[in-house]
A and B are shown apart, each in its own frame.
Chain A
């Protein structure tokens, strides 16, 4: 089966099953990993690091959800509670979500997808992993030692003058991790422009690559602004220069503008790569070319551009001018349209396809439904009149978790289950994986739907103790979080199990199209391809296919 499909590319046929030498086993020393410039090994190192940070962030979420079982602040001190939710946010946003798909699957698969031997700057790629690790370890250590209790938003003047912790030292980790993000983005942009194999035109690129291109542009343009904001906080804290604190003649609203100018586009840094994964998964399991390829490709670019112009929707009640609110609200509503276009096109891809229901596809359905809720609840918050009551309540918390966990984490898990056989060469137990997908879906909704209701009932976010009327919904949410936690732990076990006991997956277990499946072994060769492939077909050449080798 796999052999038959290689006819789409002018590359020699060879044995695609269980190659003796691959990128994982050709060198064994620790230094061959820590000093590697192979994008695949760096991707795997990111995968391991990111999983650890995800667990750290998740444990802290579990700890404060436990506190929220009762209205009184009885089990954690309020200082501890505040540090926990800050740590949860910082770790999840900067050390899990932002690098999640790009640094792991992006790193691993972009060169494979475009037919390159590596990214454009392999040493820079390794450097960005080290920067990420330094920032991550520093961040977790400093914050858990009591470094930051301001929320991840570090609003001035709380962060600059009033916080009783060393805000500057802690936020500098965000500054450092930003460089990792910028370097990865830069690397991808150059790689996609300059390293495509002969015949790999822009419109033959997998949509995964388009999504990463859009993401990288945001990373390179947006990340410096958060770095500047963090530096200005430092200047104000250390030298007392009045920038944000009105007591020194500064302007606290200015900080919010600078913060959201990065942090809103950062939302798209987090979600766009996930959308890229979903495009790949749906095309593969529908055995069909993605419907409206160009529309999905350009909607990523549209999101990247309009996404830079909507930051003020975080500030409707901050005291900004009502006319600014008017413009931001209009642009916010318009940025919803490209996401809707993607959803429609993904759905239409199934039409006249040959749909296979397998684990990655379950996660893709989960993504679609939950991301629709995330986007839909975003409409509530984008409309000014309705944002006035809902702003800074649990409705916002529910909304962005629907986008970030329901959307991005689902997409990440879809990618993990889709690409695992390629990365490791091993097949994982499908039944276990399908059960885990369903547990995660159910647990997720039990955790976050009650939070949407809580917000509408009026519970403000970041509350250590709360009004007794809100208790029943909080109990539901914490119960759901327990189920969700179990769901997240399961893949750790069966995926690690598969490394030892899993069957060889074969080079193309899903019958997918694209160079990464058809022209590479599983796990791939240290140099990806024996010779650079010449591409003669577009990437989703499923049309006319009827059977697959699942």
Chain B
């Protein structure tokens, strides 16, 4: 009953960088608040109203500048510390284990590269950077793992990414941190961090279609192949080797072919037409789920 929790569990490489800044600021702010209140009360008692003593007013430019410039320097120092941590975090490492996440009111769908899926739960290996590519099927959500000190908004029609590397095994809570409607507080789950070997065993335990295989099947089934078949560029642009390259459009603008471009081309094909082609492609917005689109993207990526 009296065990009041004060220190959250920390279990990621990022947490190891965030926590020192948190504790430094806690001590700094605590000292500041106590000191300024104490000084105020001390002065209030020291210069308590006394008959026979007259109020005297002081102006002191040196003092004013001191307490303007020093806080500014401290503020910039703290800013710098926090920004360095953030930029290191924002820099995606190489060799990540890639997982895709779809958020919807009010659940999380997680898909591993081999096709294994989980709901409201993420299983991951310890000591390996895990990258999430996330999108939402409806409103804004936010993927938040307190023990890893990370969160990232999940946005419809857009892909946001985040990564983290667990430093210890165990079970950690997962929350949706962006208010998403009636059952927001039930959009919760857990993260299980396993030792590498156990994770591999867990992953191999079930076989389904990988996203690339599922995407290839959709590519046939939806008729994409009729215009985008390999070796025939007469009706639609060739897709092999295109991912990550730059493309020029009919209006002269250019863009890199990435997840968001592919998604846009499937949902609203008329937006950007590759130079030399007519706007023939129909929209697939009502026929494909976010998971289908993820699979198609995985397939198109694999063509390079």
Contact = CB atoms under 8 A, between A and B. Distances in A.
B85 interface: yes
Contacts of A380: 22, 25, 29
A241 to B, nearest CB: 16
Interface in A125-162: 149-151, 153, 155, 157-158, 161-162
Contacts of A288: 55-57
B178 A355 contact: no
Contacts of B155: 246, 252-253, 318-319
A494 B150 CA distance: 49
Given A252-B156, A326-B83, A388-B18, A341 B68 contact: yes
Interface stretch (A45-53, A226-234, A451-459, A523-531): A451-459
A449 to B, nearest CB: 11
Contact of A291 (B6, B47, B59, B84): B59
Contacts of B183: 78
Contact of A369 (B33, B43, B53, B81): B33
Contacts of A466: 185
A392 B144 contact: yes
B153 interface: yes
A369 B78 contact: no
B139 A388 contact: no
Contact of B150 (A164, A289, A354, A389): A389
Contacts of B79: 329-330, 333, 382-383
B44 A343 contact: no
B40 interface: yes
B106 to A, nearest CB: 10
Interface stretch (A110-118, A189-197, A208-216, A537-545): A537-545
A286 B47 contact: yes
B260 to A, nearest CB: 11
A365 B37 contact: yes
A229 to B, nearest CB: 16
B180 A472 contact: no
A334 B78 CA distance: 11
A502 interface: no
Nearest to B139: A158
A410 to B, nearest CB: 13
A326 to B, nearest CB: 6
Contact of A384 (B75, B82, B173, B182): B82
Nearest to A282: B40
A439 interface: no
Contacts of B180: 158
A377 interface: yes
A544 B52 CA distance: 10
A79 B184 CA distance: 10
A501 interface: no
Given A372-B32, A372-B37, A344 B67 contact: yes
A352 interface: yes
B139 A157 contact: yes
Residue picked from A319, A326, A365, most chain B C-beta under 10 Å: A319
Contact of B55 (A361, A388, A460, A545): A545
A548 B290 CA distance: 74
Contact of B185 (A150, A163, A463): A463
Contacts of B17: 385
Contact of A357 (B36, B44, B178): B44
Interface in A407-466: 453, 456-458, 460-466
Contacts of A334: 72, 75-76
Contacts of A4: none
A386 B150 contact: no
A170 B86 CA distance: 38
B140 A155 contact: yes
Nearest to B68: A341
B5 A457 contact: yes
Given A352-B47, A386-B21, A155 B179 contact: yes
A245 B4 CA distance: 42
Given A329-B79, A543-B56, A322 B140 contact: no
B95 interface: no
Contacts of A350: 40, 43-44, 47
Given A385-B86, A458-B175, A353 B156 contact: no
B83 A384 contact: yes
Contacts of A340: 67, 71
B83 A385 contact: yes
A382 B55 CA distance: 40
A426 to B, nearest CB: 24
A168 B159 CA distance: 29
A330 B81 CA distance: 11
A373 interface: yes
B132 to A, nearest CB: 13
Contacts of B18: 385-386, 388-389
Nearest to B39: A347
A368 B67 contact: no
Contacts of A467: 173, 188
17 contacts: A73-B185, A246-B155, A287-B49, A334-B75, A347-B39, A347-B40, A352-B57, A352-B58, A353-B55, A357-B48, A384-B85, A386-B22, A458-B173, A467-B173, A472-B5, A543-B56, A546-B52
Given A347-B40, A355-B49, 12 more contacts: A155-B139, A162-B138, A247-B156, A334-B75, A343-B36, A355-B45, A356-B49, A361-B44, A457-B5, A457-B8, A467-B188, A472-B4
Interface of B: 1-6, 8, 14, 17-18, 21-22, 25, 28-30, 32-33, 36-37, 39-41, 43-45, 47-59, 63-64, 67-68, 71-72, 75-76, 78-79, 81-87, 89-90, 105, 138-140, 142, 144, 146-147, 149-153, 155-158, 160, 173, 175-186, 188, 268
